[in-house]
């Protein structure tokens, strides 16, 4: 049971496993770059950025690579090396000193890693497939290349990489971790039947396609505790070329497996509350997931306050994670509380290397004078 009242509002506290969140406004994971060298976070810059947003009930960090094999985004941070762990420590300390809470999202991109990040080696995936579109590389956008299917002997290594990352996250001072199993990345490539064509125990039937998700989640839970482990899924139709023929069956089975493991909370990149990227034939799956997952359920996808209020009041969601709004509104909680206008963000500075468009957005008191 969640123990949350049906009449919960965004500003009511909530218990998310071991984390006591003072409100139900979470900061969703947002890839922003701002790392250097061997994917080492720019500590001072990130410390300022995240601490500015510490009034969130909980901050979910930007997606962070668990290994070089799994990280294919320019200037994105990692969590596999000692240097990366040391660089994250001032960030988590700054958030805690400001009264906030922060967990680290663990990322393996699978087939979406370009060989330029791997010394020319092939990326890995569930099957030998190629992602659509173009990869972001340090040399500009390039075509994705075909991934190789992971050998059955490699699965213990993949699970071990998640465990190592989770240990490092806790050593860096994070309050917990989130397993990124959404948005067409590695675990999602195993979940979906248009990217997973395996005939072994990790492919075919839904119970096999969710096997890697179960194994990774259980191993992380065994390492840091169920009360500090969460998962993100994206039952919102096609994403980065990954899709599924029966999403209700797939994602309810995945959610039921996570319920059995007992994770702290489940976050869904859901369909928009009142529309789904123009795909009117795609059903919203969160109501079905709500039936099988009894822990705290966090929904995310371009929410307005009114949409958030409605889903909290109905009991569909226990909390809402806001993404893009947090880029340009570090004090989003207070702005939503008083009904203040939100500052628009500047797309041109989403991934730039310095504080412009990152730590220089105004707080409410500065916009009112």
Residues marked as catalytic:
185
Q: Classify residue 348 by its DSSP letter.
A: G
168, 84 Cβ separation under 8 angstroms: yes
Pairing of strands 265-269, 229-233: parallel
Spatial neighbors of 157 by CB under 8 A, at least 6 apart, are none
Q: How far is CA 74 from CA 116, 180, 241, 327, in A?
A: 10, 18, 21, 19
Going by their DSSP bridges, the two strands 124-125 and 102-107 should be labelled as unpaired
Alpha helical stretches, state H, the chain: 43-52, 82-97, 155-171, 186-191, 206-209, 211-224, 247-261, 286-292, 305-314, 324-328, 332-338, 364-367
- Rounded to the nearest 5 percent, the helix, strand and coil shares of the chain are 35, 15, 45
Q: Which of the 8 DSSP states describes residue 121?
A: P
């Amino acid at each position: 049971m969640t123990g949350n009242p049906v009449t919960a509002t965004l500003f009511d506290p909530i218990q998310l496993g071991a984390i006591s969140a003072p409100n139900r406004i979470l900061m969703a994971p947002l890839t922003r770059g701002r790392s250097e060298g061997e994917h080492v976070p720019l500590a001072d810059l990130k410390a300022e950025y995240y601490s500015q947003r510490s009034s969130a009930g909980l901050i979910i960090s930007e997606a962070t690579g668990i290994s070089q094999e799994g990280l294919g985004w320019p200037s994105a941070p990692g969590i596999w090396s000692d240097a990366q762990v040391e660089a994250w420590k001032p960030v988590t300390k700054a958030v805690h000193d400001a009264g906030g809470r922060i967990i680290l999202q663990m990322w393996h991109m699978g087939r979406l890693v370009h060989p330029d990040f791997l010394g020319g080696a092939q990326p890995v995936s569930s099957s030998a497939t190629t992602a659509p579109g173009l990869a972001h590389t340090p040399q500009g956008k390039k075509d994705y290349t075909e991934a190789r299917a992971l050998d059955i002997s490699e699965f213990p290594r993949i699970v071990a990489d998640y465990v190592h990352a989770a240990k490092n996250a806790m050593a860096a001072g994070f309050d917990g971790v989130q397993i990124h199993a959404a948005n067409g990345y590695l675990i999602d490539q195993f979940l979906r039947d248009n990217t997973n064509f395996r005939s072994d125990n990790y492919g075919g039937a839904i119970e096999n396609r969710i096997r890697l998700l179960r194994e990774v989640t259980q191993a992380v839970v065994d390492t840091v505790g169920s009360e500090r482990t969460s998962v993100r899924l994206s039952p919102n139709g096609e994403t980065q070329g990954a899709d599924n023929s029966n999403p209700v069956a797939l994602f309810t089975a995945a959610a039921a497996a996570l319920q059995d493991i007992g994770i702290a909370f489940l976050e869904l990149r859901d369909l928009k509350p009142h529309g789904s990227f123009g795909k009117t034939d795609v059903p919203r799956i969160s109501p079905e997931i709500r039936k099988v997952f009894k822990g705290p359920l966090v929904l995310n996808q371009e929410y307005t306050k009114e949409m958030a209020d409605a889903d909290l009041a109905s009991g569909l969601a226990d909390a809402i994670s806001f993404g893009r709004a947090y880029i340009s509104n570090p004090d989003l909680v207070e702005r939503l509380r008083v009904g203040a206008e939100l500052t628009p963000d500047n797309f041109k500075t989403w991934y730039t290397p310095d504080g412009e468009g990152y730590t220089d957005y105004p707080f409410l008191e500065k916009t009112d004078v």
